[in-house]
Amino acid sequence: MGPQTAELYFQRLFEHVLTKNPFPPVDVTPLVDKEGLDEMLSIAKLEKLTILLKRPNPDDLGSEHAKWMQKLEKMNAQKATTELTAVKGESLKPDAETKAFAHVAANNGKVTVVGRDSHGVKVEESTAAKPLVITEHVDANLETAMQVLQRTAY
């Protein structure tokens, strides 16, 4: 199952469960390949950085996730969008806080960049196109696909 199919499957599954039970909304976002995001943030000339953070699900642990969830909750915000545009002819230099925000948003929203590579060629990338892919083999004689999913997810 590919990342986009899995995202759609789980989003519909949660929507179905939520229509029958009074649970808070759940947003499904595929995990992003961390190296892919780091590459995006380090293109030669970063001209535009857009970070969309959807309120993380309550089960997202980690101090950075918790920090942003508390911030959004405190303001009664469902999502936050930050767009940085470089001064003409310059490159953005995201600071540590902005990079941390981007890493949280990569798994709870989306990060997009526009810029130019080292050859001056325009680059437009999004974390939506950089899902984390974990390949696991299933030996049907030893375990089911569901058991492999459970083993891999933990």
Domain extent listing, the chain:
32-130
CA–CA separation, 118 and 132 (whole Å): 26
**pLDDT given for residue 135 in this prediction:** 78
Amino acid at 28: V
**pLDDT given for residue 57 in this prediction:** 64
**pLDDT given for residue 102 in this prediction:** 93
* Extended beta strands in 3-121, E state: 45-54, 79-85, 109-116
**pLDDT given for residue 88 in this prediction:** 94
Closest Cα partner for 53 from 125, 93, 107?
A: 107
CA–CA separation, 83 and 113 (whole Å): 10
Q: Walk along the chain (154 residues) and give the pLDDT tens digit of each residue.
A: 676 777 778 788 877 777 777 777 777 777 788 888 999 999 999 999 999 998 766 665 567 778 888 888 899 998 999 999 999 999 999 999 999 999 988 888 899 999 999 999 999 999 988 877 777 777 888 888 778 877 777 5
**pLDDT given for residue 16 in this prediction:** 77
Amino acid at 79: K
